[in-house]
């Protein structure tokens, strides 16, 4: 726990990355139920994201062809737009300058679904399977602000970014944004 972001003092071990994502999603639902907010059952993922092949992870994943062969996934799952903006960020190094406004799509989505029904949003701090896409500057901070404002848990899927891959133990530290839950898998 010495390398975990400040405030992280519990670890839950899982047998695989897919199981870890499904567990994180279930923990988010259980957290709200334990607080008397069992009506918070919606989950939000992001387009072009990958969160494993478990039923929950596949439901919040945003790569359509991976989901198509299985039919209807979990109900109550929505997806934010991805952050790739080739026209403005084609030659970016590191975090792109443009795109923080993609986080504001969460506010629009919450207006459509009622924020008091949303349990959690899960994102890869740096998208992996949908293309290695660093977040635009300020994007993750803006997601953190919106989720905190509405009592929604923010989950980072750090499979691509954890254990020093960004020069800090986790993307949460490297990018300066602390989620409520983190999923990490390293063999």
| Cα 146 to Cα 104: distance, rounded to the nearest angstrom | 8
Indicate the Cα dihedral angle 117, 158, 171, 175, nearest 10°. Answer: -30
pLDDT digits (tens, 9 = 90+) for 69-103: 888 889 999 999 999 888 888 888 888 788 899 99
pLDDT higher than 60, residue 186: no
Domain boundaries, the chain: 17-84+92-183
Instruction: Provide the token pair at 31.
Output: 């957290």
Instruction: Provide the token pair at 98.
Output: 């443009």
pLDDT value at residue 29: 97
Fold that domain 17-84+92-183 belongs to in CATH: 3.40.640
């Amino acid at each position: 726990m010495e390398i975990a972001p400040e405030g992280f003092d519990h670890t839950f071990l899982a047998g695989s990355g897919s199981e870890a994502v499904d567990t994180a999603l279930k923990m988010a639902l259980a957290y709200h139920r334990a607080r008397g907010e069992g009506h918070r059952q919606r989950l939000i993922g992001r387009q072009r994201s990958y969160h494993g092949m478990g039923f929950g992870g596949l439901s919040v994943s945003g790569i359509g062809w991976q989901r198509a062969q299985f039919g209807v996934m979990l109900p109550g799952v929505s997806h934010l737009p991805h952050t790739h903006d080739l026209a403005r960020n084609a030659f970016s190094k590191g975090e792109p300058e443009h795109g923080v406004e993609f986080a504001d799509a969460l506010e629009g989505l919450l207006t459509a679904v009622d924020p008091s029904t949303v349990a959690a949003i899960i994102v890869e701090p740096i998208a992996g399977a949908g293309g290695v896409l660093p977040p635009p500057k300020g994007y993750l901070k803006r997601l953190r602000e919106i989720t905190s404002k509405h009592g929604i848990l923010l989950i980072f899927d750090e499979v691509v970014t954890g254990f020093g891959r960004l020069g800090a133990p986790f993307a949460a530290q490297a990018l300066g944004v602390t989620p409520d839950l983190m999923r990490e898998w390293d063999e």
